[in-house]
Amino acid sequence: MTESLNGKGLALVPRTDTPQTLKDFKSDQEVRWCPGCGDYAILAAVQSFLPELGLRRENIVFVSGIGCSSRFPYYLNTYGFHSIHGRAPAIATGLAASRPDLSVWVITGDGDALSIGGNHLIHALRRNVNLNILLFNNRIYGLTKGQYSPTSEVGKITKSTPMGSLDKPFNPISLALGAEAGFVARTIDSDRKHLQGVLREAAAHRGASLVEIYQNCNIFNDGAFDALKDPSLRDDITVKLEHGKPIVFGTGENERAVRLSRTGGVEVVRRSEVADDEILVHDAHNPDPSTAFALSRLDDPAFEHVPIGIFRSIDRPAYDQLMKEQLEAATAAQGPGDLDRLLHSGDTWTIR
Amino acid sequence: MTKQVQQLDRVIIRFAGDSGDGMQLTGDRFTAETGQFGNDLSTLPNFPAEIRAPAGTLPGVSSFQLHFADHDILTPGDAPNVLVAMNPAALKANLGDLPRGADIIANTDEFTKRNLQKVGYAGDPVEDGSLSEWRVHAVPLTSLTVRALEGYDISKKDAERAKNMFALGLLSWLYNRPTEGTIKFLEAKFAKKPEIAKANIAAFQAGWNYGETTESFSVSYEVKPATLAPGVYRNISGNQALAYGLIAASVQSKLPLFLGSYPITPASDILHELSKHKRFGIRTFQAEDEIAGVGAALGAAFGGSLGVTTTSGPGVALKAETVGLAVTTELPLIVVDVQRAGPSTGMPTKTEQTDLLMAMFGRNGESPVPVLAPATPSDCFDTAIEAARIALKYRTPVMLLSDGYLANGSEPWRVPEMSELPDISVAFTTEPNADDGAYLPFKRDPETLARPWAVPGTAGLEHRIGGIEKADGTGNISYDPDNHDRMVRLRQAKIDGIDVPDLAVDDPDGDARVLVLGWGSTYGPIAAAVRRARRNGGKVAQAHLRHLNPLPANTGDVLRAYDKVLLPEINLGQLAMLLRARFLVDIISYNRVRGLPFKAEELAGVIQDVIDSD
């Protein structure tokens, strides 16, 4: 288990002494994704990861929007709310802000989170609501049968774009960083160990965490992330970000390193051409998000170098905590609310 | 010189000026003095949506009308007895409402050539005799104020700004109002700027003294206190009453209040008011948009809060999908719509009753919701509690239709005793409800048809809800045709079965053949018009609907008991359409959609016409 970057995320959620297993988190509902869908791997990873949190199961809530991934809550034996398209972060905000004793997870997809629900996503992130947002990114609309999504590459040929899509895609990591997110990470459905490691850190982080999970839609966008899975390619493409470690990747003569560029960004150079002290050491706790943002651009536009791991993890007060503190401060200053006094406040007069 | 004091039974005053002249504040203070004095009263603020429209122009005119009397009154009055016109624009914009013989107090300092030209006056109406139908008092309010404040360490601009307090002082003298409240108010308002406080108080007193000494006013007036039911009173606006009602609902249900809201005219004051009362455990969340406001409220309701969202018509349109989710997940939720003139942006500061059909039907699928409408500003308090009662008892979103007239208008309110407030608490489900020890989230209470409400944190009752159709009982996803038909009917039956008090009819002699029906904020004007008709010998019954869905069980019988049913609405006949469809009664509609409340005189004429017609 990696050491928690900051362990306050679950401090207010009641814990259990009863040992839990994967089975405790399986609901009695039949899982109905297409055979071969990446969602199965993510579900299995989450179900087998939840027991290690040691939380009371009844204090865990999964909230989702609309889309294939949003069926997720039905398959977990926790509290769950399958809501409407794009609105899960808003609904989860009300829940998390009013119930600091809950561990609230949002399950969303690239269309749900970044198209119809883009506004709620960015505001949940900037407010730092205590949510773990898992964004399943398959770069396609699955449930509506294969239209391009806001993360599809330019020129995507789909039913709604027979001559190719025209719009520049969002980079979810860049977007989240721009939206003042305190915890931003990327992982992939096929690497359970990495996925669970990221989930662990996300859960431990108090405030909003955004985890982009590359997820394969084998029906409408099969192989979108094959380059990251192909044993002969993946090590030369995947840039694993680990806090406090120099950013190097690739093997043999393809070994590369990342250093700060003269223009204020970052650049990939051959490992052999760069001195050790020139290599960028990843600092996920840097209050300035500029370098994290630069790292998030490494895969653009070609899928040549793809960073995964935790881009950013900084401490700042969570929204529910701040809200609670205001209620407590008001009560401490003025005493608990007294309805009779409130109704009689201001200018009153008596008729006898 | 002792001036004569003349007794009046009622007075209507309108303060009018630029939107920066402080007319709303002046009106509020006069209202507070009048309440303190013991008159019955009713107010009508009227202001532009623009915060500071160009100075001196007609669109920039803001006004505040106050009706007070020695008896109980129902409306802010049709026609002012006194108009305070702070500039030519205020005169021009309001002159049409002024009956012959009314008093005009004109701030002549502002009647400059330029200001007169701005609003199209060729000459000065105060000077040229064109106002001879009215009693004009030419008072240089600005320069009198500035002169009175010589010696105070304030800027000329601040001195000029105190002219509204001079006007308030003059009117307070003219109507023998108590002054201590306003002095205290100014001391508190400018506590951090004592020199400004002193100057405003001095301006206020100078206005009073001016009234006493000037020859322009030979008489002052007295309106004796009204005989109201014993109790403690305060003045309250609809928005404030609604906020207090929501706080009371939270206290009486023992549930924390969560408000998710996005600022919108004329509903924002509810958000502002509730934000002040955090010590009641109230969480107010200013959301990124209307959808997030209702979404967060629904999320909080899932977690066991009393979830509320407040908005106006355009916001309700945006919230529709989430309200539908609340319908199908059967969670309690209160949606407050402070209606304003539409469609689209419409006229944000003007009133209307045009959202009834949207509240009833503005969602996809069969998605019935209870709909309530308060009748007066103070009734917003009780209606908010009633909305919460229904939402909690039946696990349903409830639409509460206030409007701009109620929201900003005010009246004296007898503050209720705590013992008069209903207990609306409900129990969360904490135990499995099936024979096999399982928890069935959609197993209904046989009487209310409400489903159980188990909140996260309750061990053993973990369950999933959502927008997809649910199997009766288990709540599992179901596409079964018969199940869907059953669930559609169950959700409808639950709303249809809500316990609603019978519709009361006011018919003093019991032999009226004409019924005037209303809903929402038209109560005051209709009741005042009915009084007038009765004074003229007309036989007319009156009934007013607070519950619009479901309707009181006796509604059909009431409607059929009269030869004619007149229904005035500030829309094109929305309730009339519902009642015609439901009861096959030939309702006579009277509709005006001018962004303003009905006038009692206008409705009295309509009632008389219906009585006289065959």
Residue whose structure tokens are 């939720």: B333
| The pLDDT of residue B1 | 52
Q: In the structure encoding, which two tokens stand for residue B457, read together?
A: 């944190």
The reply to whether omega before B80 is within 30° of 0 (cis) is no
Average pLDDT rounded to a whole number, residues B527-538:
95
For the cut 90, the answer to whether the pLDDT of residue A351 exceeds it is no
Among B257, B464, B469, the residue to mutate for chain A (most A Cβ within 10 A): B464
Pairing of strands B371-372, B547-549: antiparallel
The pLDDT-based confidence of B49 (bands split at 50, 70, 90) is confident
For the cut 70, the answer to whether the pLDDT of residue A8 exceeds it is no
Question: Minimal CA–CA distance to B173: which of B125, B141, B212?
Answer: B212
The reply to whether omega before B266 is within 30° of 0 (cis) is yes
Burial A98-127 (b: 16+ CB within 10 A, else e): bbbebbbbbbbbbbbbbbbbbbbbbbbbbb
What percentage of chain B carries pLDDT values higher than 70?
A: 100
Domain A22-245+284-289+305-334 has CATH 3.40.50.970: yes
* Torsion-angle region of B140 (φ positive above 0: left; ψ -120 to 50: alpha; else: beta): beta
Which CATH number does the domain B234-420 belong to among 3.40.50.300, 3.40.50.970, 3.40.50.11890, 3.40.640.10? 3.40.50.970
The pLDDT-based confidence of A326 (bands split at 50, 70, 90) is very high
Nearest CA in chain B to A85: B321
Structural domain boundaries in chain A: 22-245+284-289+305-334
For the cut 50, the answer to whether the pLDDT of residue B92 exceeds it is yes
B224, B402, B459, B501 from B507: Cα distances, Å: 29, 26, 56, 18
Strand partners, B107: B139
The pLDDT-based confidence of B46 (bands split at 50, 70, 90) is confident
For the cut 80, the answer to whether the pLDDT of residue A10 exceeds it is no
Identical fold, B234-420 and B505-612? yes
The ipTM estimated for the assembled molecules is: 0.96
Q: In the structure encoding, which two tokens stand for residue A73, read together?
A: 């809550």
The pLDDT-based confidence of A318 (bands split at 50, 70, 90) is very high
* Of the listed ranges A58-62, A156-160, A191-195, B19-23, the one predicted with least confidence: B19-23
pLDDT tens digits along B306-352 = 999 999 999 999 999 999 999 999 999 999 999 999 999 999 999 99
Average pLDDT rounded to a whole number, residues A100-121:
97
pLDDT tens digits along A38-92 = 999 999 999 999 999 999 999 999 999 999 999 999 999 999 999 999 999 999 9
Residue B567 CA to residue B518 CA, distance in Å, equals: 6
Which spans in B346-480 are helix H? 356-361, 379-394, 404-408
Residue A28, Cβ density class (10 Å: 0-12 exposed, 13-18 middle, ≥19 buried): exposed
Question: Minimal CA–CA distance to A136: which of A179, A105, A168, A180?
Answer: A105
Residue A212 CA to residue A199 CA, distance in Å, equals: 11
| The pLDDT of residue B302 | 98
| The pLDDT of residue B314 | 98
| The pLDDT of residue B3 | 80
* Torsion-angle region of A30 (φ positive above 0: left; ψ -120 to 50: alpha; else: beta): beta
Residue B475 CA to residue B488 CA, distance in Å, equals: 14
pLDDT tens digits along A300-317 = 767 889 999 999 999 999
- In this complex, which of A74, A92, A347 lies closest to B299 when CB atoms are compared? A92
| The pLDDT of residue A347 | 83
- Chain A CB within 8 Å of residue B300 CB: yes
Q: In the structure encoding, which two tokens stand for residue A35, read together?
A: 């055979």
pLDDT tens digits along B419-465 = 999 999 999 999 999 999 999 999 999 999 999 999 999 999 999 99
- In this complex, which of A83, A330, A344 lies closest to B279 when CB atoms are compared? A330
The pLDDT-based confidence of B387 (bands split at 50, 70, 90) is very high
Residue B75 phi, psi dihedral angles, 5° rounding? -140, 165
**Distance from the A9 Cα atom to the nearest Cα atom in chain B, whole angstroms:** 17
For the cut 90, the answer to whether the pLDDT of residue B488 exceeds it is yes
**Distance from the B514 Cα atom to the nearest Cα atom in chain A, whole angstroms:** 36
For the cut 50, the answer to whether the pLDDT of residue A3 exceeds it is no
| The pLDDT of residue A1 | 31
Tell me the average pLDDT of chain B: 95
Write the class of the CATH domain B505-612. Answer: alpha beta
What percentage of chain B carries pLDDT values higher than 90?
A: 93
Average pLDDT rounded to a whole number, residues B6-28:
93
Which residues in chain B are contacts of A95 at CB distance < 8 A? 299-300, 302-303, 456
Q: In the structure encoding, which two tokens stand for residue B557, read together?
A: 């019988």
Q: Which residues contact A126 (CB under 8 A, 6 or more apart)?
A: A179, A180, A181
Nearest CA in chain A to B242: A343
Which spans in B260-311 are helix H? 268-275, 290-302
Residue B364: count other Cβ atoms within 10 Å of its Cβ.
8
**CB contacts < 8 A (A, B):** 205
Average pLDDT rounded to a whole number, residues B520-544:
96
* Torsion-angle region of B592 (φ positive above 0: left; ψ -120 to 50: alpha; else: beta): beta
| The pLDDT of residue A2 | 35
Q: Test A347 with B36 for CB contact under 8 angstroms.
A: yes
Q: Which of residues 552-611 of B touch A (CB under 8 A)?
A: none
Q: Which residues contact B150 (CB under 8 A, 6 or more apart)?
A: none
Residue B515 phi, psi dihedral angles, 5° rounding? -110, 130
Q: Test A123 with B463 for CB contact under 8 angstroms.
A: no
Which residues in chain A are contacts of B259 at CB distance < 8 A? none
- In this complex, which of B228, B322, B462 lies closest to A87 when CB atoms are compared? B322
pLDDT tens digits along A256-272 = 999 999 998 999 999 99
Structural domain boundaries in chain B: 4-223, 234-420, 427-499, 505-612
Q: pTM for this structure?
A: 0.94
In B171-248 the beta strands, taken as DSSP E runs, fall at 219-223, 231-237
What percentage of chain A carries pLDDT values higher than 90?
A: 92
Which residues in chain A are contacts of B234 at CB distance < 8 A? 343-344, 346-349
The CATH code for residues B4-223 is 3.40.920.10
For the cut 50, the answer to whether the pLDDT of residue A4 exceeds it is no
Residue A259 CA to residue A248 CA, distance in Å, equals: 10
pLDDT tens digits along B127-182 = 998 999 999 999 999 999 999 999 999 999 999 999 999 999 999 999 999 999 99
